[in-house]
């Protein structure tokens, strides 16, 4: 699903009005109708509806929504935040609402009586927001934020800028944001979560032709039939064609990371899995993962032996591996010689950040999987996710690599600076070991997907999906990377069918 900027959305709007053709007021009616359908589906008419309307087209939507909900027998009040004059479609909808004579139109609202059954619909500002909210409007928004009730934003929460950081101190805090046609980039920024809540994209019939022709670096990942087919195992398959993966991670007393990654790889369909281990740790792997072949390192406590990996399709290097000189040398050797798909995580990323000349050795198409702390070591500090995004794009373009920047809405970026956001996954995954499992899944599917960007997007999706199943089954506290491994079963079943 493509993410478009405000300018592109306006153009799509105008194109649709001209070419469908449809009058602007009727497009507003269609958009408002979709919001009303959503509300009717999710909330009964026992809820009291308070529509907060600005004077632009977002306010116009609000007034149409008020009328349509009233027609569905909801009790509705409208608060005109900025008076009675506004955009043409706003004024026309105000006339329609007044002639309905069923909806009380107020200039202010007494919040003291509000309770949890109230639904506040924010139609104050939409994509036309041009500056932070201040003065009386800010005071009003603060009162709504403090009031009891369900909060719902039309198109975008008032005060959130769609394409850039939102500098204002006062921003509407929604439980749900019902956005028109395409998601906004701001929804993908973790700092906006508190305002956006859960977002839903409503199809309002803007021209698909126009949207398909829009150029955008940003999209939300969606599983397609073609992607599912990539994971299909041929009925005459043998282990060789399902790929060979080696995991080089952990070290003495740090075997957890290896085990989680290795299980992830095995359960994601790899044909042959090898694990490089210190001699003292061989028993642990053989007990835990009997399927794994052992590559014995000659060092007792750290991993540092170059064992030649030329038969391997994919190599994971880094989780909990530490920073011993021998380990750094091993990574250097691998960067210089390995021809398959390389996946670098955790300590490998920190090694690159501290030994910057090694960054120039990164083979094209390497997948790096930093969380924000690790990514900042690579590119320097940033203060919001929009800045992080710019750094992400320039890093990937410069080094011709794929970076998986992990967090809420993990961003996967390729060497062209195209960014795909993932929407599976949840807060229960914020536990040590989640990232190790992701490395494992990446390695498990890479040989069959055969393209680093597609591999990364799909692995992140599957990882989050198993996290979502774990959340349902075990809850956000109990779930662990290990429960996610067992839930890979349902994840793959779902994808396979």
Ligand X SMILES: Nc1ncnc2c1ncn2[C@@H]1O[C@H](COP(=O)(O)OP(=O)(O)O)[C@@H](O)[C@H]1O
Report how far residue 280's alpha carbon sits from residue 286's, in angstroms, rounded to the nearest whole number: 12
Beta strands in 374-483 (DSSP E): 402-405, 411-413, 419-421
Is residue 372 a contact partner of residue 363, using CB atoms and an 8 Å limit? Answer: no
Measured from the Cβ of residue 235, the count of other Cβ atoms closer than 10 Å reads 5
Which residues partner with 426 through β-bridges? Answer: none
60 is in an annotated binding site: yes
Nearer to ligand NPW, 17 or 223 (CB): 17
Strands 75-80 and 341-344: unpaired
Question: Taking CB under 6 A as the rule, does residue 171 contact ligand NPW?
Answer: no
Question: Taking CB under 6 A as the rule, does residue 437 contact ligand NPW?
Answer: no
Size of the site for ligand NPW (CB under 6 A): 29
Report how far residue 285's alpha carbon sits from residue 263's, in angstroms, rounded to the nearest whole number: 11
Nearer to K ion, 137 or 442 (CB): 137
Question: Taking CB under 6 A as the rule, does residue 439 contact ligand NPW?
Answer: no
Site string for ligand NPW, 245-264 (x = CB under 6 A): --------------------
Residues in 1-20 at the binding interface with ligand NPW, rule: CB under 6 A: 9-10, 13
CB 463 → ligand X: shortest distance, Å?
A: 6
Longest dimension (CA), the chain: 85
Residue 122 interacts with, from ligand NPW, K ion, ligand X, none (CB under 5-8 Å by kind): K ion
- b/e per residue, 163-176, with b = 16+ CB within 10 A? beebebebbbbbeb
Residues in 78-137 at the binding interface with K ion, rule: CB under 5 A: 122, 126
Residue 426 interacts with, from ligand X, ligand NPW, K ion, none (CB under 5-8 Å by kind): ligand X
Question: Taking CB under 5 A as the rule, does residue 174 contact K ion?
Answer: no
Report how far residue 31's alpha carbon sits from residue 52's, in angstroms, rounded to the nearest whole number: 17
Cis peptide before 478 (omega within 30 of 0): no
Residue 410 interacts with, from K ion, ligand X, ligand NPW, none (CB under 5-8 Å by kind): ligand X
Nearer to ligand NPW, 17 or 495 (CB): 17
Question: Taking CB under 6 A as the rule, does residue 126 contact ligand NPW?
Answer: yes
Residues in 402-441 at the binding interface with K ion, rule: CB under 5 A: none
Number of H helices, E strands in the chain: 17, 17
Report how far residue 218's alpha carbon sits from residue 297's, in angstroms, rounded to the nearest whole number: 43
Residues that bind ligand NPW (CB under 6 A): 9-10, 13, 27-28, 31, 54, 56-61, 87, 125-133, 137, 154-155, 180, 204, 206
Q: Known binding site for K(+): residues?
A: 58, 122, 158
């Amino acid at each position: 699903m493509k993410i478009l900027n405000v300018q592109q959305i306006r153009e799509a709007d105008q194109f649709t009005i001209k070419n469908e053709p449809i009058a602007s007021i009727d497009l507003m009616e269609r958009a408002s109708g979709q919001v009303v359908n959503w509300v009717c589906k999710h909330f009964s008419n026992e809820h009291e509806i308070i529509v907060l309307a600005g004077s632009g087209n977002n306010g116009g939507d609000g007034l149409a929504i008020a009328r349509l909900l009233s027609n569905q027998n909801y009790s509705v009040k409208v608060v005109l935040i900025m008076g009675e004059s506004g955009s043409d479609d706003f004024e026309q909808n105000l006339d329609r609402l007044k002639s309905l004579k069923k909806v009380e139109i107020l200039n202010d609202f007494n919040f003291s009586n509000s309770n949890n059954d109230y639904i506040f619909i924010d139609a104050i500002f939409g994509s036309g927001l041009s500056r932070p909210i201040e003065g009386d409007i800010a005071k009003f928004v603060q009162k709504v934020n403090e009031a009891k009730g369900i909060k719902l934003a039309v198109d975008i929460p008032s005060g959130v800028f769609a394409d850039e950081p939102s500098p204002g101190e006062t921003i509407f805090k929604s439980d749900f944001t019902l956005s028109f046609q395409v998601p906004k980039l701001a929804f993908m920024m973790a700092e906006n979560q508190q305002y956006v809540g859960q977002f839903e994209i409503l199809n309002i019939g803007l021209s698909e032709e126009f949207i398909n022709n829009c150029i955008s670096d940003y999209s939300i990942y969606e599983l397609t039939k073609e992607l599912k087919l990539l994971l299909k195992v041929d009925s005459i398959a043998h282990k060789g064609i399902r790929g060979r993966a080696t995991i080089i991670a952990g070290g003495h007393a740090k075997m957890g990371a290896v085990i989680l990654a290795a299980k992830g790889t095995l359960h994601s369909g790899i044909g042959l899995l090898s694990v490089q281990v210190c001699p003292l740790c061989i028993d642990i792997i053989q007990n835990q993962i009997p399927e794994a072949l052992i590559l014995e390192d000659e060092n007792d406590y750290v991993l540092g032996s170059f064992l030649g990996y030329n038969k391997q399709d994919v190599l994971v290097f880094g989780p909990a591996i530490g920073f011993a000189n021998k380990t750094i040398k091993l990574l250097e050797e691998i960067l210089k010689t390995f021809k398959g798909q390389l996946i670098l995580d955790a300590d490998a990323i920190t090694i690159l950040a501290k030994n910057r000349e090694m960054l120039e050795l990164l083979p094209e198409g390497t997948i790096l999987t930093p969380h924000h702390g690790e990514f900042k070591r690579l590119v320097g500090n940033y203060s919001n996710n929009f800045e992080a995004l710019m750094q992400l794009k320039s890093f990937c373009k410069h080094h011709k690599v794929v970076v998986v920047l992990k967090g809420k809405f993990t961003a996967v970026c390729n060497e062209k600076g195209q960014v795909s956001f993932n929407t599976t996954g949840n807060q229960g995954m914020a536990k040590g070991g989640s990232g190790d499992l992701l490395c494992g899944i990446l390695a498990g599917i890479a040989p069959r997907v055969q393209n680093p960007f597609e591999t990364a997007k799909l692995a992140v999706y599957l990882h989050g999906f198993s996290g979502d199943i774990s959340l349902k089954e075990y809850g956000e506290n109990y779930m662990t990377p290990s429960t996610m491994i067992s839930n890979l079963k349902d994840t793959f079943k779902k994808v396979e069918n």
